[in-house]
Amino acid sequence: LDYQHVQVPFEITLWIMLASLAKIGFHLYNKLPSVVPESCLLIFVGLIMGGIIYGLNDRSPPVMDSDIFFLYLLPPIVLDAGYFMPSRPFFENIGTILLYAVVGTIWNVFGIGFSLYGICQVKSFRLQDVSLLHNLLFGSLIAAVDPVAVLAVFEEIHVNEKLHILVFGESLLNDAVTVVLYKLFRSFCEMPTIKSVDVFAGVGKFFVVGLGGVLVGLSFGFTAAFTTRFTKDIRVIEPLFVFLYSYLSYLTAEMFHLSGIVAIISCAMGMKRYVEANISLKSHTTVKYFMKMWSSVSDTLIFIFLGVSTIGDNHEWNWPYICFTVIFCLIWRALGVLVLTFFVNRFHVNTITSKDQFIIAYGGLRGAICFSLVFLLPDFHRKKLFIAATTVVILFTVFVQGMTIRPLVDLLAVKRKRESAPTVGEQIHIRFLDHLLAGIEDISGHWGQYYWKDKLEYFNSKYLQKILLREYDQPKSSIVLLYEKLERKHAIELAQAGQLGHGPAHPSFLSSSDRTVITDQKLEDTPNPDVLDNMQEILARNLYRIRRTGPAYNRHTLPGDSEPTERAKEILILRHKSL
Amino acid sequence: LDYQHVQVPFEITLWIMLASLAKIGFHLYNKLPSVVPESCLLIFVGLIMGGIIYGLNDRSPPVMDSDIFFLYLLPPIVLDAGYFMPSRPFFENIGTILLYAVVGTIWNVFGIGFSLYGICQVKSFRLQDVSLLHNLLFGSLIAAVDPVAVLAVFEEIHVNEKLHILVFGESLLNDAVTVVLYKLFRSFCEMPTIKSVDVFAGVGKFFVVGLGGVLVGLSFGFTAAFTTRFTKDIRVIEPLFVFLYSYLSYLTAEMFHLSGIVAIISCAMGMKRYVEANISLKSHTTVKYFMKMWSSVSDTLIFIFLGVSTIGDNHEWNWPYICFTVIFCLIWRALGVLVLTFFVNRFHVNTITSKDQFIIAYGGLRGAICFSLVFLLPDFHRKKLFIAATTVVILFTVFVQGMTIRPLVDLLAVKRKRESAPTVGEQIHIRFLDHLLAGIEDISGHWGQYYWKDKLEYFNSKYLQKILLREYDQPKSSIVLLYEKLERKHAIELAQAGQLGHGPAHPSFLSSSDRTVITDQKLEDTPNPDVLDNMQEILARNLYRIRRTGPAYNRHTLPGDSEPTERAKEILILRHKSL
């Protein structure tokens, strides 16, 4: 037996296996995941595992290594989040998200830090040796909402899209602030005196860390898109580039002390549309599927490790400090959300309701990022107290808040996510309004979001697409793409039902009663089959016209751009067929 | 800048990136890969990289670590090989493959070892200090044909299926022999005296290592299949289990000093049919795609590292020893193939032609396994000579043999692989003959391959499928599956051509001229569209009957097994539709 030789990969594989089997186990008994969020169950499994290890070895089980967390477990989750980020609501609410992420987080850090310092002044609590700087350092790591925890809980409760993107976007973008503040206070702790110039340097760093992350991410994203231009002959390694370049963007950002999370998100969002157009359909399925799989495994491992790491004797228990930490975390977040939303609502027509505000405040879950940061603290005599407080805050938010948020959402009747995808009609309508608003903004000289979106689209179609896409063509209208997708799905289901027309062999296929059955099968996940069916028929008859008029939506191309001869030919073919 | 922190993942990602970009680069200029095999190009890139590193650092570049090779790079390739192994030709030729792999490899080891020992006795060569045992040890590592190198070259030259499986199967299964002989001679080298009992123990070990590998692999494979029974609710982690269990089988086998390669191949072959039935179509695409991607990357990395590791000063040059090693490798392999094939041909009707024999002998490429094994040798004063000789043999086989084998195959007009998949008619014919032969063997009391295959199929459908499949159903006949696949493909292409019938909107779709166009598009990769089209029409009309009579091919179930009521209902529905 030669265990030493295979130990590392063997144990990693076993942990992943345990995580996957735990996931299967939860889903075997169907009622459990609908009551308790999976994250809680996983932490619970971790606690049991930790207890077993502690019992067998009689010493603390190994703590989740911060390097492993930041270098290997976090990137897949963030990549998944960035790649599948719904870009429309994200950019529509980018201002609010940034306000919550930057100002809100700073507010929380200083609020929690100063009030905990106040608590430390109470003599009977015996905490007078915890300095203000240490409290602020602790505040900087405990203030940030955790994307992994937020995603795990919010994915299950299906609140409306805007609410979801506000909480989730904040949890992703606050990374830049956390990185800066955490490193700033940590270096202040080690410095003998703090000059005012250091504070200003800290403020400047915000922009460097955040914008630097965006820059690194975008450059890697565009390189990835450019690379996939040349993979036509070796389709099999296409998915690799998506993963490699995003991971490199994360590592590069971390290397330069920029925000890795911001970098990988920009990279994923930047490359997505070009990569999707360049790679094959199967490669794309693989990319999507593997990304989901990977992030799901990472997520599972993080929560299990969180549980395992909780067990052990690296905690120092101090009731007042720990209780007040939990209370201040709740209070300052609630206050911050109230104040910031007040300002946001003054400048927006589409306001954030008070119910939504409550869920935003209540959904501020803490998770593995805090946990990893607290272990990265330099050794000092109160580190164990901080570890204990962080653990309690995480467990409190994940268990208490995570488990009660679903009933609360039900109770408050918070607006849910619409179950159905937007219909073709709605999509056309939205697109039309976008162009209309861009025109209005242009005429009125107001440089708003529609104006910039239009400019970006122009830049994209004029330069970026020519460089980054293999087959640079008139971009297909998204409606045509949707139609193609529906057609493909329809076709597969027809084939599966064995009802694909083989010429005259199946004349019955065309009877209308038969067709309704098929349509029902096909559209099992869309709510309004009749409407969509009509749409589809209209599109089927007029596909030619739509494809041609698609580009006419764009203000920068003239409707008559396509060659008339080609057009005439196509019309001829279409006519010929329909006769 | 904090490079230390991200160094390990950053450098790994960069190496993979370099490998992938090199692959893209070769394919940009289309003529290059058709003349020079990719493996040669990759080694060449590696040599350049090694030269650069050597030039910059002024010391030998790092050598490919044997642990990294055996634990991380080799498993994906072998898994891919096992999962996509064409099982029919493999099991039809299993006797011949085992003969080549076991007897052939032993023949080569002793042949090369003893004749090199003879060379060492020549005084003028100054090699008298190399003992017989060391020569045999060297023989044991240089004798084995390398699956990675064989796959890289044979995938490009498309020889006939039997020839391919003979060379490739041998290269995979000789691992058990190599492991045993290498470890045996290495322990003999360290023992003061060798008793005859040790030699017998060595012989016994063959069976333990080989059969133990099969057992470990099959048990993990069946566990994997069993696990995928329960993944219906979390489709997203399904692909994971395929990878995790196969990797665990490899690691477990390595841990117990069994043959990891044999284990992972048995695991992959054992789980394949059950896993495929249990997991979703998208999961399956991901599994297949990712496996191909992963093995392709591993393969690329191995050849690049092979090149990099060649540069440096850990070689001791001795002309006679190195030249004679190359010559003996060629001669003993040629002799071995001739003698073994003579015996094989005496017992088989379907003989191996002399052209095929030549290609088998000539295709005995050496690769990274020898290279890793030679670095794992215990330190002794002639290790550098062995390293040099191994490197030369690998480069000689990969470059000279690898580059000339394609012209030779053309020159000798070796029977090529048929371009097309077997038609439905052929498949029915083959199946029919299988059952006929199984019956003949049963009656005549001859327990041949068809008899055992039939028994295995019986055991499979009676027990294994019930345990391992989620939806245990009458197994679908492979003809029906093929038909379904063709239908699906057809449907997708119809949809892409925009010609899917939407009821009366497209009456022209049914005109026969139109249909021919579609059929041509659909069958662009099958040679005989008319024949297949007819087949398809017959199948479309009679799908019901085929599905029912499928199981009747099996000798162990009676044709009337299906419930008569269900049958009647289905006939009714079918009638109703065709009216």
Given this model, what pLDDT does residue B545 score? Answer: 40
**Low-confidence winner among A144-153, A399-408, A528-537 (lowest mean pLDDT):** A528-537
State the alpha helices, DSSP H only, in B228-367: 238-255, 260-278, 281-310, 319-347, 354-362
Mean of pLDDT values over A444-468 = 81
For residue A14, list chain B residues with Cβ-Cβ distance below 8 A.
248
Q: Which one is predicted more confidently, B420 or A145?
A: A145
- pLDDT at B390 (0 to 100): 92
Chain mean position to CA A104:
19
- Provide the pLDDT for residue A470: 77
Per residue in A113-144, pLDDT tens? 999 999 898 888 888 888 888 899 999 999 98
Chain B residues in contact with A5 by the CB 8 A cut-off are: 67, 254-255
Q: Which of the pair, B16 or A543, is modelled with greater confidence? A: B16
B227, B505, B509 ranked by CB distance to A541: nearest = B505
Return the higher-pLDDT residue of A203 and B485.
Answer: A203
The pLDDT of residue B29: 76
Rounded to a whole number of angstroms, the distance from the CA of B330 to the nearest CA of chain A is 34
Task: Give percent of chain A above pLDDT 90.
Answer: 24
Identify the residue with better confidence: B312 or A278. Answer: A278
Predicted confidence (pLDDT) at residue A218 exceeds the cutoff of 70: yes
Tell me which chain B residues have a C-beta less than 8 angstroms from the C-beta of A241: 20
* B234 to A23: CB separation less than 8 angstroms, yes or no: yes
Give the gap in angstroms from C-alpha B444 to the nearest C-alpha of chain A. 43
Cβ pair A254, A260 in contact under 8 A: yes
Higher pLDDT, residue B363 or A32: B363
Q: What is the mean pLDDT of residues A58-76?
A: 83
Domains (range + CATH), chain B: 64-294+315-384 (1.20.1530), 424-472 (no CATH)
Q: Which of A45, A75, A44 is nearest to A148 (CA)?
A: A75
Minimal CA separation from B342 to chain A, in Å: 41
Question: How many A×B Cβ pairs under 8 Å?
Answer: 221
| Region of poorest pLDDT, from A364-368, A388-392, B29-33, B242-246 | B29-33
Contacts of B490 in chain A (CB under 8 A): 495, 500
Query: pLDDT at residue A516 above 70?
Result: no
Res A64 pLDDT > 50: yes
How sure is the predictor about A390, in pLDDT bands with cuts at 50, 70 and 90? very high
Dihedral pair phi/psi, residue B416, rounded to 5° = -90, 170
Contact between A495 and B484 using a beta-carbon 8 Å cutoff:
yes
The shortest C-alpha distance from A412 to chain B (Å) reads 29
Residue A309 pLDDT greater than 70, yes or no:
yes
Instruction: Give A-chain residues touching B14 at CB under 8 angstroms.
Output: 248
Q: C-alpha distances in angstroms, A103 versus A100, A143, A357, B435?
A: 6, 12, 16, 76
Task: Confirm whether the ipTM is greater than 0.90.
Answer: no
Of A230, A233, A491, the CB nearest to B500: A491
Amino acid at the residue B295: S
- Please indicate whether, in this complex, the C-beta atoms of A227 and B257 are within 8 angstroms of each other: no
Chain A residue nearest residue B480, CA to CA: A498
Average pLDDT over residues A24-46: 83
pLDDT recorded at residue B473: 55
Residue from A502, A518, A547 to probe the interface with B (highest B Cβ count within 10 Å): A502
CB contact under 8 A, B23 and A234: yes
Give residue B1's pLDDT.
72
Q: What is the pLDDT of residue B498?
A: 60
Of A8, A285, A488, the CB nearest to B285: A285
Mean pLDDT by 10 residues, chain B (579 residues): 84 90 83 81 90 82 81 92 88 90 92 92 84 90 90 85 90 87 85 77 84 94 91 85 94 91 93 88 87 89 88 81 92 94 86 89 90 86 89 92 89 80 76 83 79 84 81 60 71 66 39 38 45 58 41 37 49 58
pLDDT reported for residue A539: 54
- Give me the long-range contacts of B180-187 (CB less than 8 A, separation at least 24): B180/B205, B180/B206, B180/B209, B181/B105, B181/B106, B181/B109, B181/B140, B182/B137, B182/B140, B182/B141, B182/B373, B183/B257, B184/B140, B185/B133, B185/B136, B185/B137, B185/B140, B186/B137, B186/B377, B186/B378
Least confident of A59-73, A295-309, B380-394: A59-73
Q: Which of B178, B205, B212, B203 is nearest to B373 (CA)?
A: B178
Cα dihedral B287, B290, B296, B301 sign: negative
The pLDDT, as a whole number, for residue B329 is: 93
> Percent of chain A, pLDDT > 70?
83
Give the whole-angstrom CA distance, residue B74 versus residue B369.
9
Nearest CA in chain A to B246: A13
Position A99 confidence tier, pLDDT thresholds 50, 70, 90: very high
| Nearest-by-CA chain A residue for B229 | A24
Residues of A in contact with B72 (CB under 8 A): 9
Option in A71, A495, A537 nearest B488 (CB): A495
Minimum distance, in Å, between the CA of residue A561 and any CA atom of chain B: 24
